[in-house]
Structure 1
Amino acid sequence: MKAKVIVVGAVAVAVAGAVAGTFALEGMNVQKNTADPATGAYAKVKDHPGLTGDLVASHIETWYHPVPWIGKEIDSVSCPDLAAVKHTKITCTAKSGGGRVTVPVSVVEVAGATAPRVTWKFER
């Protein structure tokens, strides 16, 4: 009888841990990135400094699917240039399986003027 109680207790603890882990990982659906002026991947976007779409796309392709249970596997990411203006939003596209997915991107913070340090995020 004690063995059954221990097994049931261990299963309950494992399930609770998995649920807690899932909620902890829920925040991973948003990925923040910061581009430093030293990278040289800047573009002019509507008279504002900004980041090239290629830089944004490469970060998304690298970080979109770091863990199998979060997001989808993607490739062929394409993004427009991203203006270095807080709250600016763009939508990138990617291939996933036989279809296309959209990836929302927004600027979170901008520090500096000529070659600003840009913090941006994308959602899975």
Structure 2
Amino acid sequence: MKAKAIVAVAVPVALVGAVAAGTFALTGMNVQKNTADPASGGYAEVQDQPGLSGDLVATHIETWYHPLPWIGKEIDGVSCPDLAAVQNAKITCTAKSGSTQVSVPVSVVEVAGDAAPRVTWKFER
């Protein structure tokens, strides 16, 4: 009789642990990193420095903002200012989710190169 009680408790505990681990793993998916290569185009000059065009950043955000239906909101009409290719540079993009305005923070994570740098940037959901 005691063996059945142990199994009855162990299964729910294992399920709770698995759900918690899965939720923790998905938390990291609320930030999306992207890298733009000079050959891909989409560059702009921002305050006399190379940068990424706001249209390129907006397209990536609109495409990747809601790849999984249970994370984030579905958005459209994304608009971003140009993003300077400077470590830790930040901008805020705007979008619509239904009739609600949504702000999307964007920041540069890494810059490699000078004239046409390879820029790694991230946005948060």
Same fold judged by TM-score > 0.5? yes
Structure 1: 5+ residue stretches without partners: none
Query: What pairs with 1:14-29 in structure 2 (closer than 5 Å)?
Result: 14-29=15-30
1:5: Cα distance to partner? 6.0
Give CA deviations for 1:56-76 in whole Å, capped at 9, x if unaligned.
001111111122222111111
User: Aligned-residue CA RMSD in angstroms?
Assistant: 1.6
The 5-angstrom pairing of residues 2-81 of structure 1 reads: 6=7, 9-81=10-82
2:111 aligned with 1:96: no
The answer to whether 1:110 aligns with 2:124 is no
Partner Cα distance (1:21, 1:85) in 2: 35
Shift of residue 97 of structure 1?
Answer: 1.9
Shift of the alpha carbon at 1:24? 1.4
Alpha-carbon separation, structure 1, partners of 2:61 and 2:101: 14
Matched residue pairs, number?
124
* 3-state SS, counterpart of residue 77 of structure 1: strand
User: Percent identity over the alignment?
Assistant: 72
Unaligned runs of 5+ in 2: none
Q: Tell me the TM-score normalized by structure 1.
A: 0.91
- AA partner of residue 14 (structure 2): V
TM-score (ref. length: structure 2): 0.90
